[in-house]
Structure 1
Amino acid sequence: MEGVIPNLRELHKKLLEASPLHEDLHTCAALLAPCLPGEPAKDSGSELAVCGENVPVPWVPRDVTLLKLSLIQILIIKADNLCTKRHIRCQYSHLLELLQQAGIEATIVRLSNTSDKVLSHIASKCLSYLVLYQLKYQHEVNAHWLQFCLFSLCQDPGSRTLIPCLTSLVYVCKGFLTDEKLQKADLLLMILVPLENVFERHFSTVITYLSNPSCQPLALVEEPSGHLSCLLDLIETLVALRTQLKLNVSLCKQVLSAILPQTLNLISSPVPYFVKKQVILVLKRCLLCKAGEDFLPSPRILSHQQDAMLDKDMAALAGTLLGAVQEGWLLQVPVSDRSSSFGGVNDGSELGPDLVILGATCLSVLKALEIQVHNGESGQTEVLAPDILMAHLLKFLKRHIEWKEPVHPCEWVSLAFIEQDDDMLEVAKCLLKMYQHNPSLCSPSTSCESENSIWSGSSHRSGSDPHCVFLFLLSNVSFDSSVLLDFLISSETCFLEYLVRYLKLLKCDWPRFRLTCSLFDKSRNFHPSGVSFHPPQEQSVKATPIQSDCICFPNLLLPTPMEISRPASSPVGHTKHSTPPSPSGCVNSSMGALQRLVDYDSSEDSESESADSEQGPVIAHSAGDDGTDIDKHMKRLELKAHSPTSPPSQPSAQAGGNTCHVQGTQQRAVQCLEDLQEAVNRLHRKKLFPYNPSALLRLLSHVSGLSTEYGGTHVLPEQPPNKI
């Protein structure tokens, strides 16, 4: 078969099938050897020989080179794959040795420096495959690749070789995280030690250049955003090597303690918005020890072994961030009116601030404070006052979230993280730790403590009261215990740790929790999803005087004219519903809470089942399922299912007309926790729960006992509607 392209197609077919190569390996090596643009092909049947009328002549050399680079990648993958037969792997490995003897590394490096972006990217990726293969099987670093990286990092920020160099470095470093055979300190040192001084100097040069007020990056640098994005990817990958593999490599330590803090200066630099957004996201993941979570093959469980050096590096990063916050860094953080789509164009009509960067900024600051508090307990650092930090944070939030006055400061957690339940729980955990470690916030409550003193406390003023945060969380999920069960089972949130900490707090802070629930009940604007006022027309939005003992903050369960577009009572992280509110304000929200993806009650023993019947599986409901389980829940909530032919009955006013029977916030919260306890206990008995929940069940039982001892159903006087 004459010509290069037909031979390459035949070789491609064999490589995909992992078939043996019957041709001479030297011939295959000569066929795969890539050519530089402008050089004649080594084969006599060159590209021109296969260039017919349907193939444009100027594009043939480039296409052939791209095809050869792709085939080399496939060859490396098949030679490394254990599923490939052993004798075929040996044949492919021998072919790779012949290609290395022919010096293809130098050719691929030169192809990475071309102005053709596609060719440069494919060549850089192919070179990375080859470097990882040599590290894994030959235990040596490719000299051509290392020299290429050192040369590129010494160039000016506008050099064309920087992006392919950084892309290749990121891919090679990711290989250490994803391949256990490469996770050896000596192999990593062979790469990172030569790059240590060069990389730090290059990053400092970039930051200094961008910090210059007279710099014009768009005019002086060809690809500033791409260069900075690759640089941030490499920083996150190096931090992941430090935190995930526990490797005390000097460069990884410098990145975490010295280089990453310098990225804070990019927020005030003339760089694109999506680069600043990436800075905040990388900072958040590094502070949470989740660097690299986007590209790791599976979530890694961090070991709880004490690492004093890592704690010291984290403390340095946290201290730099908190110092910048005190100097007004938060006021420089940009929050776009809509999602930036990472540099793309968003033509959607959804308004509101970019909650991703807003939430990541808040979580980064709170996590930095948590790290500082942890180190302050051992006397290593001076702890910044939490109320001062929260004042800066609330000022930043009010600047971008148009809160309606009067407002409860603790509501910011629900507003900023309504679309990110994992980050919301991280923030709730940070606030809870801050509350427990700050004597001015966490003072023992007394039986004679008044509601006004509770509401005017520093924890409420600073938006960090754990009871309010917990109640707002339950409100956002419509007091639905199945959502909490999802959080407990999921490995993507810290809800288990947060819930255990909070339940321990309730044991010694129950009076304050009851007072907080009472204040929630007295607020006319806060309507738990089980509250039903009657008659319906009394739920007016007209301006009326506000009673002095009524604590007011915006309703989270009814639509508000805020710029954040979110549903009235959709569970966090679940499908949003846009059904209009019903006059009763009760049936729709309760039914919305029952529309869940998986019904955990299906594992409960039914009264109609025989004692020796076999346990049934957990059933996922579809649109055609019957409503047996929904009817059970409605019976528990004392609701009636209305038939399609009969209209729902309207609630009637009682004699007296000035009271409404309310299932108070405390009762709904305790009922939600009791339902959660029942569901966890049921799944644990059937050996369906993923871990041993005995300690959690004991804490839940204790809360139920406190409610029985101190609780009671409230009959509250109806308050007039507040001003809107």
Structure 2
Amino acid sequence: MKAFFEVLEQLYNKVLLGATLENDSHDYTFYLNPASSDQDCSRTTSSDCSNTLEVQCKHQPSSVHLATLSVAKETVAPLCLKRPSQMSSTREIVLLQLTVIRVMITRILSVETELHAKEKYRDIIKLLLQSSDIDSKLTCMFQNSDKLLSHMAAKCLALLLYFQLKEKVTLSNSWISFCQKNLSEYSESDEVVYSLWILTAVIKEIFRDTCSQKTEILKQFLTPFDTIFEVFYNSLFSQHFENHQDTSKLINSLICFLELLELLIASRIHLKLHFICQRILFLKPSCVLDVITWPVQAFVKRKFIIFIKKCLLCKMGEDVCQGSVPAFMPPDHHFDVDMLALADAVLQAVDLGLLRTLSVHGKPSCFGGDEVQPGCEHVPGPDHVMLRAASLLIIRSLEIKFQNCASAKEMKVDLQRFMFELLTFLKPHLQPSLRSYNLCEWLPRVFIEQDDDMLEAAKASMGVYLKLTRECEATESLTQEKEMWNHHTHENGYNPHCIFLFLLKNIGFDSTVLLDFLISSETCFLEYFVRYLKLLQKDWDNFFTICKYFDVAESKDNINICYHTFSLVQDRSSNQREPSPLAALSSHRNTCARVFWASDASSEPLKQAAMSSKAHTTLQDNSLSPPQAPQSLVDYDSSDDSEDESTNQPLTNSGLTSLHQEAMKKIQDTVGTSRDKKEFSLEPQSRLLVPKEFDTPSPVDCDMTPNNTASEVELSYKTVKCFEELQGAIYRLQKRHLFPYNPTALLKLLKHIETIYNKSMNSL
């Protein structure tokens, strides 16, 4: 056995380096063939494999000169004298055999391997598949009590199956029968989990492949299992969790099948395949939703909620499908019908009390364990991942349902009912609590730590608003009931102007953050921003009114905060010495300044204090396209009559690519850090009109009622000034061919907003 192991070890070292093998392929196949017993797999033991391997070692080929092949005398010693060491050696040899096979296949798939060496490796693996029933030998190892050996066998089998698909070798009947048998009905055997894991691993390899034939490869792989997946789906989700004594096997099967299900749905979108197994979730979504109500661990519920969220956002398999995501997808009526069925099932589950079954009291994440170490402070708080996922489930499901609903009355009823459920669910977990005069703050408060989810929620919320507005305009007279309509949008937390203003407030009205969002391909900000600018053109009066509403409400809050804080300062100071009037005034001014909004767009320290650390990223963290003439990745019109298309046609930044470091330096030099108005303005320089009445409220005057005109224009001025700075930055990047797509239409929209603002200021 020692000589056998040494040959394998030298073979491993050569394959690891991608070296060419000189000897006959049959000889190498002999060393890579895992030992197995003639007995039934279910009764195979380590000693059986040891006996078989011992016989195998005695018949080593003489033509291989990788190492001295003389078998040591102790190899043929009685098994009773050498059993412990032999069993250990057998395990090491089998593990090394599996490792060499995996590395050899990896070398075959690698573009860095020399062609001559790759052909030799390919011949060896093909001979191994032909000369031995290696599939059966590896599946027999799944029952081994040695979990490392079982796992290595599964990984090796997954790569062998993928190799056969790539080389157009017919899959063995033994493997297909093994999977069909184990997935025909749920059982608590290990073979079920390994079957699911191997199927998932093979599909992942197909997705990662850069070849153009991945659709055909996946079709060949899924064809034998298409109907069996639906059978297993029904069997698995019909289990009664409380009736299982050992629930660990059921949980493993649920999680493994969930990952497989995600890839099946992803293949429907990205590879344009059409199998029954890709629709089973949409045909019977209640099965998956019911798991969330089971008395199962919190992490299982979290996985299922995140899975459904990905489905509703069409982000299934995004970790492995990045290279194959289509920029634009043609309309798919069947997929739209399936998405509507899933959205309806989610809303029905919420109606039946789904949110009331969720426990969102999160535990702290601990490295290397699940308990807080003594002496470490534990800050209690909710599970924000669950809060975000549950919120997105509802708002996205409403958007999908409203896209297929034509009754304004029905939409109003559904929106009020489900948003009440959501806000009731969120309020106990948001500290400080939501202010009653504007419930739209729920969205930025819940999603402030997750930019991509926040923008998805904002986009879905605006989709609900636009659809409902159009239907109401067609059937009702909104001009007569405008105040009631605005109250409805605030009461149910979906007013798009409030949500956008909260977003700007959280980033300190910093245009560089908006620029980062526009450049990055990690969020849907471009699509959301274009939709909002189109809405803002038509709905400027409403936006202007909401700005006044914001300023007055915030000013009232700050009056109370200022008085309360000033009294605290006086109480604390009285214990030491009586402060002078000048010191008290200075303290009062500083305290109010900290709690007041940064009303001056050039006040950098206040904006930095108000800015979310999550949202404020730097330009060097984003990837841009190489310097070249910008090509339009999106086609959106800035005219008023394109509103319908903008809300139904998805936009994407998926074509963005990385930029060289020197180009990144150019961008940093171009954008700069100054907030000077001239630096950010367009060429020719635009002029933002500041009304004479506009005056920044002094913190000293916290107890005074704010001037109406000043309040009305403060937020609108800061918003439009932020847009103006953004125009300047985009213009300079475009001028140097550093912007990743053609922003001409976006610049037109921003310029139009500035024109509307100046007209409204002139009318005051």
Cα 1:273–1:314 change in 2 (3 A) is: same
Deviation of 1:198 (Å) = 2.5
Query: Which residue identity lines up with residue 305 of structure 1 in the other structure?
Result: P
Q: Secondary structure at the match of 2:401?
A: helix
Cα 1:668–1:195 change in 2 (3 A) is: same
- 1:597 equivalent in alignment to 2:628: no
Give distance in 1, aligned partners of 2:672 and 2:312.
47
Q: Secondary structure at the match of 1:79?
A: helix
Give distance in 2, aligned partners of 1:631 and 1:369.
40
Give distance in 1, aligned partners of 2:180 and 2:699.
80
CA contact (8 A) 2:2 2:72 kept: no
- Structure 2 counterpart of 1:458: 488
Query: Which residue identity lines up with residue 282 of structure 1 in the other structure?
Result: F
Alignment of 1:394-405 (within 5 A): 394-402=423-431, 404=433
1:268 to 290, 293, 307: 293
- Structure 2 counterpart of 1:19: 19
1:669 to 716, 719, 727: 719
Cα 1:313–1:536 change in 2 (3 A) is: closer
Cα 1:620–1:680 change in 2 (3 A) is: closer
Deviation of 1:470 (Å) = 0.4
Q: For residues 386-429 of structure 1, what are the alpha-carbon distances to aligned partners after superposition, in whole Å with 9 as ceiling and x for unaligned? A: 22221222122124335526432111101110111111111111
Q: For residues 169-218 of structure 1, what are the alpha-carbon distances to aligned partners after superposition, in whole Å with 9 as ceiling and x for unaligned? A: 1011222322244745554344333323322222222222136xx413xx
Give distance in 2, aligned partners of 1:458 and 1:148.
58
Q: Secondary structure at the match of 1:5?
A: helix
- 1:98 equivalent in alignment to 2:127: yes
Q: Secondary structure at the match of 1:268?
A: coil
Give distance in 2, aligned partners of 1:332 and 1:107.
46
CA contact (8 A) 1:390 1:462 kept: yes
1:411 to 441, 449, 459: 441
- 1:8 equivalent in alignment to 2:8: yes
Deviation of 1:47 (Å) = 12
Cα 1:298–1:678 change in 2 (3 A) is: same
- Structure 2 counterpart of 1:718: none
- 1:223 equivalent in alignment to 2:249: yes
Query: Which residue identity lines up with residue 324 of structure 1 in the other structure?
Result: A
- 1:151 equivalent in alignment to 2:168: no
Give distance in 1, aligned partners of 2:442 and 2:752.
30
Q: Number of matched residues?
A: 635
- 1:142 equivalent in alignment to 2:172: yes
Structure 1 gap ranges (5+): 528-532, 544-578, 601-615, 638-650, 715-724
CA contact (8 A) 2:596 2:699 kept: no
Identity of aligned residues (%): 32
1:252 to 273, 278, 287: 278
Q: Secondary structure at the match of 2:239?
A: helix
Give distance in 2, aligned partners of 1:634 and 1:476.
25
Deviation of 1:59 (Å) = 2.9
Query: Which residue identity lines up with residue 180 of structure 2 in the other structure?
Result: L
- Structure 1 counterpart of 2:732: 682
Q: Secondary structure at the match of 2:235?
A: helix
1:237 to 239, 255, 263: 263
Deviation of 1:310 (Å) = 1.4
- Structure 1 counterpart of 2:359: 334
- Structure 2 counterpart of 1:372: 401
- Structure 2 counterpart of 1:310: 335
Give distance in 2, aligned partners of 1:667 and 1:435.
25
Query: Which residue identity lines up with residue 194 of structure 2 in the other structure?
Result: P
Alignment of 1:492-511 (within 5 A): 492-511=522-541
1:161 to 191, 194, 212: 191
Deviation of 1:2 (Å) = 5.8
Question: Which piece of structure 1 moves more, 80-89 or 181-190?
Answer: 181-190
- Structure 1 counterpart of 2:684: none
Structure 2 gap ranges (5+): 37-45, 59-70, 569-590, 622-661, 682-697
Deviation of 1:50 (Å) = 12
1:696 to 730, 739, 746: 746
Question: Which piece of structure 1 moves more, 8-17 or 437-446?
Answer: 437-446
Alignment of 1:63-212 (within 5 A): 63-100=92-129, 101-181=131-211, 183=213, 186-210=216-240
Query: Which residue identity lines up with residue 9 of structure 1 in the other structure?
Result: E
Q: For residues 433-473 of structure 1, what are the alpha-carbon distances to aligned partners after superposition, in whole Å with 9 as ceiling and x for unaligned? A: 111111499769999999x7576x11100000001100011
Q: Secondary structure at the match of 1:223?
A: helix
CA contact (8 A) 1:113 1:164 kept: no
Deviation of 1:221 (Å) = 4.1
- Structure 2 counterpart of 1:706: 756
Alignment of 1:507-656 (within 5 A): 507-524=537-554, 538=563, 540=565, 582=594, 586=598, 588-592=605-609, 597-598=618-619, 618-619=664-665, 629-630=673-674, 632=676
Q: Secondary structure at the match of 1:376?
A: coil
Question: Which piece of structure 1 moves more, 107-116 or 8-17?
Answer: 107-116
CA contact (8 A) 1:667 1:713 kept: no
- Structure 2 counterpart of 1:641: none
- Structure 1 counterpart of 2:501: 471
Give distance in 1, aligned partners of 2:211 and 2:672.
53
- 1:287 equivalent in alignment to 2:309: no
Cα 1:107–1:224 change in 2 (3 A) is: same
Q: Secondary structure at the match of 2:240?
A: helix
Query: Which residue identity lines up with residue 720 of structure 2 in the other structure?
Result: V
Alignment of 1:347-358 (within 5 A): 347=372, 349-358=378-387
- Structure 2 counterpart of 1:571: none
Question: Which piece of structure 1 moves more, 441-450 or 228-237?
Answer: 441-450
Cα 1:584–1:283 change in 2 (3 A) is: closer
Taking structure 1 as the reference length, the TM-score comes to 0.78
Q: For residues 46-79 of structure 1, what are the alpha-carbon distances to aligned partners after superposition, in whole Å with 9 as ceiling and x for unaligned? A: 89759999x9654322222111111101111112
- 1:491 equivalent in alignment to 2:521: yes
Question: Which piece of structure 1 moves more, 333-342 or 142-151?
Answer: 333-342
Give distance in 2, aligned partners of 1:580 and 1:160.
64
CA contact (8 A) 1:413 1:427 kept: yes
CA contact (8 A) 1:425 1:493 kept: yes
Cα 1:47–1:460 change in 2 (3 A) is: farther
2:452 to 412, 422, 434: 422
Larger helix proportion of the pair: 2
- Structure 2 counterpart of 1:564: none
Cα 1:629–1:170 change in 2 (3 A) is: closer
Cα 1:526–1:198 change in 2 (3 A) is: farther
Query: Which residue identity lines up with residue 715 of structure 2 in the other structure?
Result: T
CA contact (8 A) 1:225 1:272 kept: no
- Structure 1 counterpart of 2:414: 385
CA contact (8 A) 1:283 1:364 kept: yes
Give distance in 1, aligned partners of 2:565 and 2:362.
31
- Structure 2 counterpart of 1:558: none
- Structure 2 counterpart of 1:345: 370
Deviation of 1:131 (Å) = 0.5
Deviation of 1:311 (Å) = 1.4
Taking structure 2 as the reference length, the TM-score comes to 0.74
Give distance in 2, aligned partners of 1:657 and 1:134.
79
Deviation of 1:83 (Å) = 2.8
Cα 1:656–1:665 change in 2 (3 A) is: closer
Query: Which residue identity lines up with residue 74 of structure 1 in the other structure?
Result: V
Q: For residues 352-409 of structure 1, what are the alpha-carbon distances to aligned partners after superposition, in whole Å with 9 as ceiling and x for unaligned? A: 2111121112112222222222223599x99972222212221221243355264321
